[in-house]
Structure 1
């Protein structure tokens, strides 16, 4: 990492690791009717989708996501399109992949994927939601709100915090995203976007400390 990318003090790293751990649901990944690869800026998502598909954990896979709202240049033809191409390069057959190229947020990812599956004649009882590691809890809470009748299994590439920092290459960006996703876990139930999640006091304290230290670029607007 460059000096600009090595942005965390030891204390900030401990706070960030606490939030990182909270965001992961620690579900046991097991066979399911279908998987949904949630759009993002991280090609680790389709790579892990391909790994789980090769392991025989699901027969069908939806990639969902339009242009990334914060980095549209990352995948100029949309997240789902690029994710699909990457998964095919990694051995997932085209026939196993459904495409949802319109969603701009997690609620739309799940709602629109449900519609794509229904159009294909698929009504799943169990769904594996595959996301970035720090997005597991928010995607779970969203899915339980907008699609309560399915059993949701959350999964992400099994990376430790430091390994993920190296994978992304920008400590400040990752920490900003951890903080932003935690704010959404806290605030979205009040807006009807997600179910309520218990947030332990130490996680609240970590959040407040990192916000005071300026890790705020992914916070919701006023």
Structure 2
């Protein structure tokens, strides 16, 4: 259970990382692998809504996903999308990516023979900002829009997601906005002072599991 005095700080970070992009049609929808099957579900929903004619699922495994998706994140995402009626012939699978940079770079490589001018990145709500910044750095000239299933923090953690893990992810994502721009992994983005203060208070409260701890940590 999240202490009451920290709820406003969590809400601040949650709102910061959800870019709230205006929906628009793209050449391809890219579902970024994670432990959240809701990404695959939302990708299927957007396909059926006519948001894109082609789907790519990208992701191998991480320590947090191997038990849930033993055959790889992208492979299981494809299975979910098929069950939801997405035709097999419009789904491409990129099964090697192990971080967000790989997701973008390997998807770009997979689609190299196609004319791609616009991409919808389908992610967890709190991954949007970093995914967008990474994509803009690694795939210039493409118009990116982010999409996630609309949900509050409370909605997101009402299922199987652990509160402590998600709050730690929010703190880690906030750190990476600045740090990854410095390292050249992503484009720079403004971090409001209120967001910095909220992240600092949550870190001081012990939500530090996803902070970068040493130079050379490339857990993108």
Does TM-score exceed 0.5, indicating one fold?
yes
Superposition deviation, residue 183 in structure 1: 1.1
C-alpha RMSD over aligned residues: 1.0
Measure the CA separation in 1 of the matches of 2:65 and 2:118: 31
Q: CA deviation at 1:71?
A: 3.6
3-state SS, counterpart of residue 35 of structure 2: coil
Aligned partner of residue 58 in structure 1, secondary structure: coil
Out of 103, 107, 119, the residue aligned to residue 127 of structure 1 is 119
Counterpart of 2:93 (choices 99, 109, 112) is 99
**Aligned position for 1:26:** 20
**8 Å CA contact retained: 1:177, 1:218:** yes
Q: Which residue of 1 aligns with 2:7?
A: 13
Q: Does 1:61 align with 2:55?
A: yes
Which secondary structure state, in structure 1, belongs to the residue aligned with residue 174 of structure 2? helix
Which residue is equivalent to 2:178? 186
| Equivalent in 138, 144, 157 of residue 146 of structure 1 | 138
Structure 2 unmatched runs, 5+: 215-220
Contact preservation (8 Å) 1:68, 1:75: no
CA distance in 2, matches of 1:71, 1:43: 10
Partners of 1:114 and 1:97 lie apart in 2 by: 15
TM (normalized to structure 1)? 0.94
CA offset at residue 221 of structure 1? 2.4
Contact 1:188–1:194 (8 Å) recurs in 2? yes
Corresponding position of 2:190: 198
Aligned length: 214
1:38 aligned to which of 20, 32, 37: 32
Contact 1:69 1:104 in 2 (8 A): no
What's the TM-score, normalizing by structure 2? Answer: 0.95
- Distance across 1 between alignment mates of 2:141 and 2:44: 26
Q: For residues 85 and 169 of structure 1, what CA distance do their matches in structure 2 show? A: 21
Conserved 8 A contact 2:6-2:202:
yes
Q: Deviations over 1:106-131 (max 9, x none)?
A: 0110010011112xx32210100000
- SS state at 1:98 partner: strand
